[in-house]
């Protein structure tokens, strides 16, 4: 290759790279939630989560993909309702941009700070990544329930303290009652294939779901093919995941454009049955539906998640015992 031609090629490649770099720097990713993040609560109604990609002039980017990954809040001193979910990956997928936006609906399982990593992938390999963080607060009613339970245990301790102070066989009674309360506290802490139809169709769909267990995402894959021939027809895919027992949708994608296939990693957060439904609307007006029922493997949470609430409940009862004994004029040193 002549030197002049080689220099021209290198110069052109440099310009293309520089142009892509500038365009990547000019891309802005924004995260939105509906309802607003401040109003979200664990195990509430599905929230609409969306990431928007805009250019430097504020216009939505017409073409491109958005890779998203949602991680659950890390573990804290007091466990959430789903200890195995804490700090794990909830969702990972790649969505096409529609009017500069990629959105989905999802139930957020636990309280805490979520981490959403989003990466825009455009033509020519242009990429722009951003990490968003948002906090979901516990449902206020749960704090009321916890306060009521703690108050009930405290009153129980007060009554027990007065009974122990008056009983003749106090040591034996105290031991039996403490064992009973320990059991009650422990119980309270623990609470804390190809589809065919009879009529002739132009398309066939396939939905496969990998092994599903709480604490790790399962692989969901969907394909659409013309019957009897090869190819990847374009379609608009709607995908929903519903918890069968509560008849509640926990995840949904609505009419996203696909080219014959789609895949995502999704974590089923409790050990129950889920119904996964995929409905595709093809370009020639045909609707192809596929359903699969998923039985999720549950696992017992680690013992360490039960210790903090157990210690709290025992401390509340002990405080009640002290107050009960002191109310009858018995010194704390005699406990």
Rounded-to-integer distance, Cα 276 and Cα 237, Å:
13
Sort strands 273-282 and 203-209 into parallel, antiparallel or unpaired: unpaired
What pTM value is reported for the model? Answer: 0.72
- Give DSSP secondary structure letters for 71-90: EPPPP-SS--S-GGGTTSEE
Q: Which residues contact 136 (CB under 8 A, 6 or more apart)?
A: 37, 40, 41, 42, 73, 108, 110, 111, 112, 114
Sort strands 234-243 and 65-71 into parallel, antiparallel or unpaired: unpaired
- In the chain, % of residues over pLDDT 70: 65
At 260-270, the pLDDT tens digits run 899 999 999 99
Specify the pLDDT at position 109: 94
At 325, list the tokens. 């004994």
Specify the pLDDT at position 280: 94
CB 204 within 8 A of CB 194: yes
At 89, list the tokens. 């990956």
pLDDT higher than threshold 70 for residue 95: yes
CB 174 within 8 A of CB 334: no
Residue 117 vs residues 66, 114, 186: alpha-carbon distances, Å: 10, 10, 38
Distance of CA 273 to the CA centre of its chain: 16
pLDDT higher than threshold 60 for residue 177: no
Specify the pLDDT at position 108: 95
Specify the pLDDT at position 250: 96
pLDDT higher than threshold 80 for residue 85: yes
Q: What is the DSSP letter of 24?
A: H
Specify the pLDDT at position 82: 87
| Domains of the chain by start residue, with CATH | 3-136 (2.60.40.1940), 140-192+306-334 (no CATH), 203-295 (2.60.40.10)
Lowest mean pLDDT among 3-17, 25-39, 193-207, 311-325: 3-17
At 76, list the tokens. 């804290």
Tell which wins on pLDDT, 292 or 162: 292
At 233-260, the pLDDT tens digits run 889 999 999 999 999 999 999 999 999 8
pLDDT higher than threshold 90 for residue 192: no
- ω before 88 within 30° of 0 (cis)? no
pLDDT category of residue 212 using cuts at 50, 70 and 90: very high
């Amino acid at each position: 290759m002549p030197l002049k031609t080689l220099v021209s090629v290198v110069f052109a490649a440099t310009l293309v790279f520089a142009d892509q770099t500038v365009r990547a720097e000019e891309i802005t990713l924004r995260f939105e939630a509906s309802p607003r993040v401040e109003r979200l609560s664990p195990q509430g109604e599905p929230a609409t989560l969306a990431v928007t990609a805009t250019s430097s002039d504020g216009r939505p980017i017409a073409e491109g993909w958005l890779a998203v990954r949602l991680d659950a809040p890390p573990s804290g001193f007091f466990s959430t309702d789903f200890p195995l979910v804490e700090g794990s990956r909830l969702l990972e997928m790649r969505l096409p941009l529609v009017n500069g936006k990629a959105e989905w609906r999802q139930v957020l399982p636990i309280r805490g700070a979520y981490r959403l990593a989003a990466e825009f992938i455009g033509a020519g390999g242009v990429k722009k990544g951003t990490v968003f963080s948002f906090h979901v607060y516990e449902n206020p009613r749960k704090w009321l329930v916890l306060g009521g339970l703690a108050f009930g245990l405290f009153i129980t301790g007060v009554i027990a303290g007065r009974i122990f102070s008056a009983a003749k066989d106090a040591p034996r009674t105290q031991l039996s009652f403490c064992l009973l309360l320990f059991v009650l506290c422990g119980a309270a802490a623990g609470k804390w294939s190809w589809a065919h139809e009879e009529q002739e169709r132009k398309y066939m769909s396939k939905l496969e779901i990998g092994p599903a267990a709480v604490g790790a995402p399962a692989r969901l894959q969907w394909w659409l093919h013309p019957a009897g021939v090869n190819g990847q027809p374009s379609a608009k895919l709607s995908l929903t995941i519903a918890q069968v027992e509560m008849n509640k949708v926990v995840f949904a994608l609505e009419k996203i454009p696909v080219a014959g296939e789609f895949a995502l990693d999704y974590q089923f957060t409790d050990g129950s049955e889920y119904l996964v439904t995929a409905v595709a609307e093809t370009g020639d007006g045909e609707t192809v539906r596929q359903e699969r029922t998923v039985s999720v493997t549950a696992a017992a949470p680690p013992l360490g998640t039960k210790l903090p609430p157990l210690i709290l409940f025992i401390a509340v009862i002990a405080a009640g015992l002290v107050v009960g004994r002191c109310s009858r004029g018995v010194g704390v040193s005699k406990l």
